[in-house]
């Protein structure tokens, strides 16, 4: 029994030579106890086939290049978990899911109210792929290195608002909103004495009753306008050419990755032609009313993705020296 578990672990790891994967992915994929997987990994580590590092309470496994060359490839996964952030941003989602289904890949969509949590769960292997803020994906990458950005999406859809009464600026943390906050302050467009971070729209709606500056997205800013907030900046004023990007775990095999990337390109093209076709589907996933989603169509614009210049610009805002910039460039899938 022990040797069989070892064989299965090696068979699985052979797919990810040279990559970093969450250790939890192994026992979940093989349906083997954590203790037995840990025992096998200790053996493999002693043999120099893998390296293990800890990020907080999460164990990351680095499979050494060439370690298991020649091992039999296991059956490909055909069901994927996708994380998205609660917003009106992914109106193309129905086309994307439909395209994957045409390729016999089913998708389980999980909606996160906290954008940073969506990226963290991706990094730790709790979802297979995620549309989450590019800024957060960059920020977490050096610590985990378990995922790659493989596709773009849309830009726009956020605003900087103001209501007299406070010198506080409200923003979600390590996100496009946070980057917009940084740029607005750096450029001297707004003046705020302190920053208050919110984890979800409910927290924001409660805190923002006092007034101040708010950086947030559609449909949340629609609710703020009812509280007397007015828009002072959009993405165009700040020159931000991205928002959320699609990142996938390193555990996603090459053939699946190619299918995912092709499906996204097709989905974005279909969305540009028929932007209101999948609104009911998206409403059923997010709980956002179809009538509200219709108002988002003009707020978001399809982009070709993110590029190295975007990496450089964002990284300069939070990591001007450490770690070395090259590690952030690795985030972009090399065929992207």
Identify the pLDDT of residue 47. Answer: 80
Least confident range of 132-136, 157-161, 195-199, 255-259: 255-259
Identify the pLDDT of residue 79. Answer: 86
Between the alpha carbon of residue 152 and those of residues 44, 86, 88, 203, 258, the distances in Å are 37, 18, 16, 29, 14
Q: How far, in Å, CA of 151 to CA of 252, rounded? A: 14
Mean pLDDT of the chain: 91
Between the alpha carbon of residue 20 and those of residues 77, 193, 320, the distances in Å are 18, 41, 25
**Is the pLDDT score of 336 beyond 60?**
no
For 294, the 3-state DSSP assignment is helix
Do residues 151 and 74 share a domain?
yes
Do residues 143 and 179 share a domain?
no
Identify the pLDDT of residue 317. Answer: 83
**Mean pLDDT in residue range 36-54:** 90
Q: Is residue 289 part of a domain?
A: no
**Mean pLDDT in residue range 159-166:** 96
Q: Are the C-beta atoms of 125 and 22 separated by less than 8 Å?
A: yes
Q: Taking the model in full, what pTM does it have?
A: 0.82
Q: Is residue 180 part of a domain?
A: yes
Identify the pLDDT of residue 3. Answer: 63
Do residues 252 and 303 share a domain?
yes
pLDDT class for 64, splitting at 50, 70, 90? confident
> pLDDT above 90 covers what percent of the chain?
74
pLDDT class for 311, splitting at 50, 70, 90? confident
> How many domains does the chain fold into?
3
Structural Rg of the chain based on CA atoms: 21
Phi and psi dihedrals of 206, rounded to 5?
-75, -45
From the list 186, 174, 169, 319, the residue with the least C-alpha distance to 244 is 174
Do residues 247 and 301 share a domain?
yes
Do residues 21 and 81 share a domain?
no
Do residues 50 and 3 share a domain?
yes
Integer distance in angstroms from the first to the last C-alpha of the chain? 42
Identify the pLDDT of residue 335. Answer: 61
Q: How far, in Å, CA of 150 to CA of 152, rounded? A: 7
Identify the pLDDT of residue 71. Answer: 43
Do residues 226 and 248 share a domain?
no
Q: Work out whether the CA dihedral 210, 211, 217, 223 comes out positive or negative.
A: positive
Residue 104 belongs to what domain range? 70-155+241-283+297-316
Do residues 79 and 20 share a domain?
no
Of 50, 68, 86, the last residue of a domain is 68
Of 41, 68, 95, the last residue of a domain is 68
**Is the pLDDT score of 7 beyond 90?**
no
Q: Are the C-beta atoms of 269 and 95 separated by less than 8 Å?
A: no
From the list 251, 249, 331, the residue with the least C-alpha distance to 15 is 251
**Is the pLDDT score of 269 beyond 50?**
yes
Q: How far, in Å, CA of 6 to CA of 37, rounded? A: 8
Do residues 301 and 165 share a domain?
no
Q: Is residue 90 part of a domain?
A: yes
Q: Are the C-beta atoms of 84 and 93 separated by less than 8 Å?
A: yes
pLDDT class for 76, splitting at 50, 70, 90? very low
Q: Is residue 292 part of a domain?
A: no
Q: Is residue 336 part of a domain?
A: no
**Is the pLDDT score of 70 beyond 70?**
no
């Amino acid at each position: 029994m022990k040797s069989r578990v070892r064989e299965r672990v090696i068979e699985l790891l052979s797919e990810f030579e040279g990559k970093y994967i969450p250790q939890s992915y192994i026992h979940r994929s093989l349906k083997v106890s954590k203790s037995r997987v840990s025992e096998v990994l200790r053996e493999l580590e002693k043999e120099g086939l893998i390296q293990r590092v800890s990020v907080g309470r999460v164990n990351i496994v680095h499979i050494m290049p060439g370690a298991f060359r020649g091992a039999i490839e296991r059956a490909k996964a055909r069901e994927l978990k996708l994380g998205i952030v609660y917003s009106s941003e992914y109106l193309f989602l129905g086309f994307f899911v439909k395209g994957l289904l045409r390729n016999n890949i089913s998708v389980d969509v999980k909606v996160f109210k906290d954008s940073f949590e969506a990226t963290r769960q991706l990094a730790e292997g709790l979802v297979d792929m995620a549309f989450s803020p590019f800024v957060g994906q960059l920020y977490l990458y050096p610590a985990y290195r378990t995922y790659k950005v493989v596709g773009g999406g849309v830009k726009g859809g956020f605003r900087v608002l103001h209501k007299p009464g406070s010198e506080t600026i409200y923003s979600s943390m390590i996100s496009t909103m946070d980057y917009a906050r940084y740029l607005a302050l750096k450029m001297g467009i707004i003046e705020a004495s302190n920053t208050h971070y919110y984890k979800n729209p409910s927290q924001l709606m409660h805190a923002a009753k006092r007034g101040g500056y708010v950086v947030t997205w559609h449909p949340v800013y629609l609710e703020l306008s009812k509280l007397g907030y007015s828009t002072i900046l959009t993405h165009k004023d700040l020159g931000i050419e991205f928002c959320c990007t699609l990142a996938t775990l390193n555990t996603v095999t090459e053939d699946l990755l190619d299918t995912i990337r092709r499906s996204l390109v097709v989905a974005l093209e279909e969305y540009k032609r028929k932007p209101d076709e999948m609104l009911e589907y998206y409403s059923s996933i997010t709980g956002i009313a179809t009538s509200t989603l219709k108002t988002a169509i003009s707020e978001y614009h399809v982009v070709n993705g993110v590029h190295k210049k975007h990496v450089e610009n964002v990284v300069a805002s939070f990591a001007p020296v450490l770690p070395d910039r090259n590690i952030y460039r690795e985030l972009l899938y090399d065929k992207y």
